[in-house]
A and B are shown apart, each in its own frame.
Chain A
Amino acid sequence: MDNMKVRQICFYFIAMMPVVRFLVYPATLSYNSSNDLLFSAFINLLLEGAAVALVMLLAKKTKLSLFGLIENTFGKISAKIVYALFALFFLAAALLPMMEQKNFVLLVMYENVPSVISFAPFFFVCLFACVKGFKSIGRMADIALPVFAIAFVALILLALPQTDFSALLPIAGVPIKDVLKGSLFSANWYTEAAFLLFFLGNFEYEKRAALKVISSYAIGSAAVLLFLAVFYGVFSDIAIRQYNAVAQISKYTTSFTSLGRVDYLFIFALALVMIFRLCVPAQMCVHCICKAIGCKPFIPALAVNALLLALTIFLNYSFLEVQTLFTQKLWLMFLIFAYALPAAALLLKKRRRAG
């Protein structure tokens, strides 16, 4: 068994879950929901939180993995098919955040326009993580927590002097239709319940584990909401043009100091946590392939990373199309795989059939 600790899952939700929502997500949300972006985000967080709670309830009732549960209910072939479908889903879920991260690194960390291949080293790290399995997610979460806590607090503190929270007013000034559209079109950034579903059977359920995980999820969600509020407070009407939000919010405080962009230290630290987080869907994808076809992880890991690298290069100039596809067209896929299926897993048979 690829064991994780409940503590590590908690750390994952506090530190690794929020970072993927710090790049393009705030600007996308502003585009749809304007100053009511917090409501849109809250709807997503509430739905995802409910799915996380249901998965933890399932974890309380069974020690089986998802594969075991499906096998138990529908048979082994069905389990393999479901895992194959999830493998495709995770591959898709990995793509957009990866492209976001690539653009972030190339735009923010490089002075001149660098070659797209500069991002390639990430895939070696990802390959390593994919080969090592779920245990590495737990270890990454252990490392990520202190790094995230320090960097996030520092960036928010640096951004606060430039933040005008009144930019979030008027409350409910945006039509409810647009707020819901904002939620729907950002479903692709909410895949954590699906990840948790695959942690089933890979961690020992301990006393009050559900409470701990849900509380951690709430802390991570609060970090996301705080970030969004500060982001909109800093940029208000021009928020929609602020891609790479995490690199933007704090710069107005530091630019004119004699220290210069000291906030880059914290941005780099968060970029490291983002790299950890980006590996997770790829790891899930490799895990699903291994289970579906019954093989060791190295070859699937190599194939998945090669494919993602190829897609990242091939789609280098098509970020907007990819973003539009994922946000405005594929939202139903994300609703099904990230919310509905984790919630429906509670209906699976929780005990092994006799014989």
Chain B
Amino acid sequence: MNKMVNKLWTRIFIVAAAVLLLLFFSNDFGLIDIQETAIVVALGIDAAQEGEGYDVTAQIAVPASTGTSSAGNVTVKGVQTVGEAVAELNHETGWYPTLVHCRLILLGEEVANEDVFNVLDYFLRNDAVEDSCLVAACKGKARETFQAQSPVGDISASAITKVLSSEAQATGIVTVTILKNFAVGYYSESESGFLPCITVKQEADSQGGQNADGAFAPAGAFGKENAPYALSLAPSIKRNKWWRAKKRPLPIAAPVSAEGGNQGSGGQGGSGKSGSGSSADVFHASETMLFYKGKRVALLTPEETLAYNLAATDTDYAYGSVDVSENGEQTSYNLKMKISKKKRKLTFENGMPVFTFTIRANARIADTDKSQPIIDVAKTLLVNETILRAAEEKFQSELASLWQKATNAGCDLFFLKEKLHRFHYKRYAEFKDGVPEIVQVRYDIKFTSMK
């Protein structure tokens, strides 16, 4: 009898434990009321329009049964901290903001003039936002960037995250940074970092096929290479054009159609519904903002950005154009490059630091600007030595240019101080104040033809 009671208790315990564990792990106690919750997909932080402090814009996803994605922007103005803004969002709208789905933190241009960790430390102090979220800076105001209209119907934050995708990083068009990596750079010996710089360009009417508000000059004004874009009826994202000599100045970004959506004021809600199909904006992130001690110090051009990606990030494949003089005629070759080896090493020679870039790449011709005999088209994998050497020179010059720009600005872009600390600790005290300025740079770049 006693044994039976014991067995019964054991079974009751097991069933109870299983049920409780199920509840424990399934988070069934944590259901949220979507009607009362603001699902923040992106946060934009600007310097306050009036007085000191910040204007914080939350882009809030609005769930819809129709399947069309939309979002509203709510701006809380004149707060002293981001934490205050998040709390204010709740007080003034009645929505409880949930930040776990926030995938993007966008910093306005003026915020970057001060130490950006004045605001970013909020996200490090708590886990409200995952530190795997993207961080970017933008030209102008983050609030206005969020109000841009994506040409493919996305909400603007979603469109920006697509521009900053890992695929874009893999092809070297943008330098993607997540909060964790940016914070690691800031708190490292180098105290440096970089953020992609988002610019909004009003490209074209997404349905009407007209240039948007005359912001762009006629196609002919930008030469042959820009013609297809200008004539195109659909908005398009312009490919990175590095290595190509700039025959004419690049089109200047149109003033952002910032006031398109209703904007919140002092916590008032507004809707910035995107993708309605009227005017369309394109997000560019091919420039890179450099930071030292949290302040922006320089801006890399798209060409320098690509060179940096090829030399230092996860970019393995990229396209680049190079001009070669053949038989007295200038020919432009578009090369597809595969980086097979990239190495950056800090060594000491005669007691002085030397930094060497070692890069090996395979190249093939993707296109040229002139028609060629069919035999040359068939042999597209074979790139002649002249083109390869021109590519090496161009790469080296872009790398040298960005090195100079970063060093002059005080940004330790290649984290030399950190390398010095890790790999040459005994010399750290001696050289930490001189690096990277006193470092001699060497370039060992070799392009070969794909076989």
Q: Could you jot down 15 A-B contacts, CB within 8 Å? A: A107-B127, A111-B32, A111-B98, A166-B422, A169-B422, A169-B423, A170-B422, A235-B184, A236-B184, A237-B184, A238-B183, A241-B124, A252-B132, A255-B132, A268-B25
How long is the Cα–Cα vector from A269 to B201 in the complex, in angstroms?
Answer: 47
The answer to whether the Cβ of B348 comes within 8 Å of any Cβ in the partner chain is no
B30 in complex: contacting residue of A114, A167, A251, CB < 8 Å: A114
Residues of chain A within 8 A of B24, CB atoms compared = 105, 118-119, 121-122
Within residues 1 to 53 of chain B, which ones have a CB less than 8 A from any CB in chain A?
Answer: 13-14, 16-17, 20-21, 23-25, 27, 29-30, 32
A121-B21, A128-B13 known, 7 other contacts, Cβ within 8 Å? A109-B25, A112-B30, A121-B24, A173-B421, A237-B184, A237-B188, A238-B187
> Given A170-B422, A255-B132, are A115 and B124 neighbors across the interface (CB < 8 Å)?
no
A124 in complex: contacting residue of B20, B98, B124, B425, CB < 8 Å: B20
The answer to whether the Cβ of B166 comes within 8 Å of any Cβ in the partner chain is yes
Interface string of A124-139 (1 = CB under 8 A from B): 1100100100000000
- Identify the closest chain B residue to A256 (Cβ): B166
Interface string of A172-205 (1 = CB under 8 A from B): 0100000000000000000000000000000000
How long is the Cα–Cα vector from A271 to B178 in the complex, in angstroms?
Answer: 27
The answer to whether the Cβ of B386 comes within 8 Å of any Cβ in the partner chain is no
The answer to whether the Cβ of A314 comes within 8 Å of any Cβ in the partner chain is no
For the residues of A in contact with B, the DSSP-based class is helix
The answer to whether the Cβ of B130 comes within 8 Å of any Cβ in the partner chain is yes
CB distance from A320 to the nearest CB of B (A): 14
> Given A112-B98, A251-B130, A252-B180, are A238 and B30 neighbors across the interface (CB < 8 Å)?
no
Residues of chain A within 8 A of B423, CB atoms compared = 166, 169-170
The answer to whether the Cβ of B165 comes within 8 Å of any Cβ in the partner chain is yes
The answer to whether the Cβ of B100 comes within 8 Å of any Cβ in the partner chain is yes
How long is the Cα–Cα vector from A122 to B21 in the complex, in angstroms?
Answer: 7
How long is the Cα–Cα vector from A105 to B30 in the complex, in angstroms?
Answer: 12
A238 in complex: contacting residue of B16, B130, B184, CB < 8 Å: B184
Residues of chain A within 8 A of B30, CB atoms compared = 110-112, 114, 118
- Output the residue of B24, B98, B100, B423 with the most chain A CB within 10 A: B24
CB distance from B12 to the nearest CB of A (A): 10
Residues of chain B within 8 A of A122, CB atoms compared = 24
Residues of chain B within 8 A of A131, CB atoms compared = 13
Inter-chain contact A255/B124, CB cutoff 8 Å: no
Residues of chain B within 8 A of A128, CB atoms compared = 13-14, 17
Residues of chain B within 8 A of A111, CB atoms compared = 27, 30, 32, 98, 100
Within residues 115 to 134 of chain B, which ones have a CB less than 8 A from any CB in chain A?
Answer: 124, 127, 130, 132
Interface string of A237-272 (1 = CB under 8 A from B): 110010000000001100110000000000010010
Inter-chain contact B425/A237, CB cutoff 8 Å: no
Within residues 151 to 181 of chain B, which ones have a CB less than 8 A from any CB in chain A?
Answer: 165-166, 178, 180
Inter-chain contact B425/A170, CB cutoff 8 Å: yes
How long is the Cα–Cα vector from A256 to B169 in the complex, in angstroms?
Answer: 12
Within residues 55 to 103 of chain B, which ones have a CB less than 8 A from any CB in chain A?
Answer: 96, 98, 100
Residues of chain A within 8 A of B17, CB atoms compared = 124-125, 128
CB distance from A162 to the nearest CB of B (A): 9
How long is the Cα–Cα vector from A169 to B346 in the complex, in angstroms?
Answer: 15
For the residues of B in contact with A, the DSSP-based class is helix
- Identify the closest chain B residue to A124 (Cβ): B20
How long is the Cα–Cα vector from A114 to B24 in the complex, in angstroms?
Answer: 11
Within residues 222 to 239 of chain A, which ones have a CB less than 8 A from any CB in chain B?
Answer: 235-238
**B residues apposed to A, CB below 8 Å:** 13-14, 16-17, 20-21, 23-25, 27, 29-30, 32, 96, 98, 100, 124, 127, 130, 132, 165-166, 178, 180, 183-184, 187-188, 421-423, 425
How long is the Cα–Cα vector from A167 to B423 in the complex, in angstroms?
Answer: 10
How long is the Cα–Cα vector from A118 to B26 in the complex, in angstroms?
Answer: 11
Residues of chain A within 8 A of B187, CB atoms compared = 237-238
How long is the Cα–Cα vector from A250 to B383 in the complex, in angstroms?
Answer: 41
- Identify the closest chain B residue to A168 (Cβ): B422
How long is the Cα–Cα vector from A111 to B37 in the complex, in angstroms?
Answer: 12
- Identify the closest chain B residue to A255 (Cβ): B132
How long is the Cα–Cα vector from A324 to B232 in the complex, in angstroms?
Answer: 65
How long is the Cα–Cα vector from A307 to B24 in the complex, in angstroms?
Answer: 20
Inter-chain contact B16/A124, CB cutoff 8 Å: yes
- Identify the closest chain A residue to B169 (Cβ): A256
CB distance from B190 to the nearest CB of A (A): 10
How long is the Cα–Cα vector from A138 to B443 in the complex, in angstroms?
Answer: 61
How long is the Cα–Cα vector from A275 to B21 in the complex, in angstroms?
Answer: 10
Closest 10 CB pairs of A and B: A170-B425, A121-B20, A169-B422, A255-B132, A237-B187, A110-B30, A121-B24, A128-B13, A125-B17, A237-B188
How long is the Cα–Cα vector from A235 to B21 in the complex, in angstroms?
Answer: 32
How long is the Cα–Cα vector from A268 to B17 in the complex, in angstroms?
Answer: 16
- Identify the closest chain B residue to A275 (Cβ): B21
CB distance from A137 to the nearest CB of B (A): 16
How long is the Cα–Cα vector from A306 to B165 in the complex, in angstroms?
Answer: 50
Within residues 309 to 323 of chain A, which ones have a CB less than 8 A from any CB in chain B?
Answer: none
How long is the Cα–Cα vector from A166 to B13 in the complex, in angstroms?
Answer: 49
> Given A112-B32, A256-B166, are A125 and B25 neighbors across the interface (CB < 8 Å)?
no
Residues of chain B within 8 A of A105, CB atoms compared = 24
Residues of chain A within 8 A of B27, CB atoms compared = 109-111
How long is the Cα–Cα vector from A252 to B183 in the complex, in angstroms?
Answer: 14
How long is the Cα–Cα vector from A75 to B21 in the complex, in angstroms?
Answer: 43
Residues of chain A within 8 A of B178, CB atoms compared = 252
How long is the Cα–Cα vector from A131 to B13 in the complex, in angstroms?
Answer: 10
CB distance from A101 to the nearest CB of B (A): 11
Residues of chain A within 8 A of B96, CB atoms compared = 112
Residues of chain B within 8 A of A124, CB atoms compared = 16-17, 20
- Identify the closest chain B residue to A298 (Cβ): B9
How long is the Cα–Cα vector from A271 to B183 in the complex, in angstroms?
Answer: 28
Residues of chain A within 8 A of B124, CB atoms compared = 238, 241
Within residues 78 to 137 of chain A, which ones have a CB less than 8 A from any CB in chain B?
Answer: 105, 107, 109-112, 114-115, 118-119, 121-122, 124-125, 128, 131
How long is the Cα–Cα vector from A112 to B100 in the complex, in angstroms?
Answer: 9
How long is the Cα–Cα vector from A271 to B377 in the complex, in angstroms?
Answer: 59
Residues of chain A within 8 A of B14, CB atoms compared = 128
CB distance from A98 to the nearest CB of B (A): 14
Residues of chain A within 8 A of B13, CB atoms compared = 128, 131
Residues of chain B within 8 A of A241, CB atoms compared = 124
- Identify the closest chain B residue to A268 (Cβ): B25
> Given A238-B184, A251-B130, are A125 and B21 neighbors across the interface (CB < 8 Å)?
yes
Residues of chain B within 8 A of A252, CB atoms compared = 132, 178, 180
Residues of chain B within 8 A of A251, CB atoms compared = 130, 132
How long is the Cα–Cα vector from A115 to B127 in the complex, in angstroms?
Answer: 17
> Given A238-B187, A251-B130, are A118 and B25 neighbors across the interface (CB < 8 Å)?
no
How long is the Cα–Cα vector from A109 to B22 in the complex, in angstroms?
Answer: 13
How long is the Cα–Cα vector from A118 to B28 in the complex, in angstroms?
Answer: 10
Residues of chain B within 8 A of A170, CB atoms compared = 421-423, 425
> Given A114-B30, A170-B422, are A121 and B23 neighbors across the interface (CB < 8 Å)?
yes
